[in-house]
Structure 1
Amino acid sequence: MKKVVLVAALALGGLTAFAAAPATVNNDLVITMQDEYQEIAVEEVPAAVQEALKADYPEAAISKAYKNEEGTYKLEVQIGEQAGTLFANENGEWITE
């Protein structure tokens, strides 16, 4: 009887392994999602955000700016040879996403 239960458990366990979706790796395609940010002109970035950037990163220049529906700004900035992305709310407070 123990062997029957053991065989049944192994059979069900084996079937569940086949039910899982196989993981695939596609090294040829890179998809970048913008998380529903819409590109805006750099001049449209609120003064509070621009002032916070000057205060915290005096040598930074905004190369691209984006805004989402919640009023979060995504800024692509350049400092010398380095580039990075910063997120801020409309009051100029830095946030992490």
Structure 2
Amino acid sequence: MKKLILSAAILLGGLSMQAGNTVLTTTTVNTINYQDDYKEVDAVPAAIKKSLDEAYPGVKLDKAYVNSKKEYKIEVTVRGEKSIVYTDAAGTILKK
């Protein structure tokens, strides 16, 4: 009788080892492409150039873009570091 109970316990223990839960992990990445309505322009108003020269001595304008609200997005290089500055048509630097 002891052998029968021992055999059943070993058999059930062995079966429970093989019946493990499988965990599936999936990763979903959502990418959102935000396109602003800025269009590239070749020249910016003199007020913007003057404002940038006063705010950032030694600034170099790389590219300029304008939107329908006449707000300018300007890619600049200051002391070797590139950054983006937003201004209005009068040269006032905007916080964005």
Shorter-chain TM-score above 0.5: yes
Give 5+ residue unaligned stretches, structure 2.
Answer: 1-26
Match of 2:19 in 1: none
Give 5+ residue unaligned stretches, structure 1.
Answer: 1-22
Structure 1 residue 35 and structure 2 residue 39: aligned? no
Q: 1:28-54: CA deviations, max 9, x gaps?
A: x784x441000011xx20111000011
Separation in structure 2 between the aligned mates of residue 73 and residue 58 of structure 1, nearest angstrom: 19
Match of 2:28 in 1: 24
Alpha-carbon spacing, 1:34–1:51, altered in 2? closer, same or farther (3 Å): farther
Q: CA RMSD in A?
A: 2.0
Instruction: Report how many residues are paired.
Output: 70
What TM-score, normalized to structure 1? 0.64
- The percent of aligned pairs where both chains have the same amino acid is 33
Separation in structure 2 between the aligned mates of residue 30 and residue 61 of structure 1, nearest angstrom: 31
SS of equivalent to 2:28: coil
SS of equivalent to 1:87: strand
Moved over 6 A (4+): none
Match of 2:77 in 1: 78
1:80 Cα shift? 2.5
Match of 1:18 in 2: none
Alpha-carbon spacing, 1:61–1:30, altered in 2? closer, same or farther (3 Å): farther
Match of 1:55 in 2: 54
Structure of larger gyration radius: 2
Separation in structure 2 between the aligned mates of residue 48 and residue 24 of structure 1, nearest angstrom: 47
